[in-house]
Structure 1
């Protein structure tokens, strides 16, 4: 009986010693949040597109811009150009304003085709070439 109690006590004591000496691998909340931020920021990939501005058929600016997937053309334009808009329509880019009396308005093409939606509704794709043209509507 004494042997059984001795063995049980020894086994219990050995288990507690081993458990107490085992290093903890638990992460602190600070370490965990840093890991999440690093993981998220490494997953955000910058894409590129080209935007050119033409006034009366003459190119006045050509710029390669970076953006994050899912951003609208309007968001990218705001980040890279001085914009003025009215009711969601771009009326001035880098100081070049529309002229309603002369019937000159900002229009744009994407990859050589006239856009069918406003800049706020167009989601930019990698490699897109956007041409904004300030020209007379005929």
Structure 2
């Protein structure tokens, strides 16, 4: 996002985003074009964390900020922040995985084979669980406190 854009211009762009009637479909098409080698499951999860539930989480966080200004005795709701961070963190994870797509996953599988050959069963299981978690997009965000 160009920092030179005015607040009004950024607000106009956000309004355009929120007015889209087929946002999920448009997001799916855009992700397919941008990451043609990524598995369908990864793309679907990336769309969810960004354009489906992620936008709602961002709006909820902004609403909570405004409510705090209107009612300072009411403390900000940390769950709104965590919900947004959850989607941002998962988008970050997918952003790291999507460019490599199938090739990157195949490289990880090769590493697993090497670990098996070396008898590193615990490391194999940990790597497999990590891959599963990454593909499912359900990884918990780090503790930011």
Shorter-chain TM-score above 0.5: no
More helix by share: 2
More strand by share: 1
Return the TM-score normalized by structure 2. 0.24
Return the TM-score normalized by structure 1. 0.24
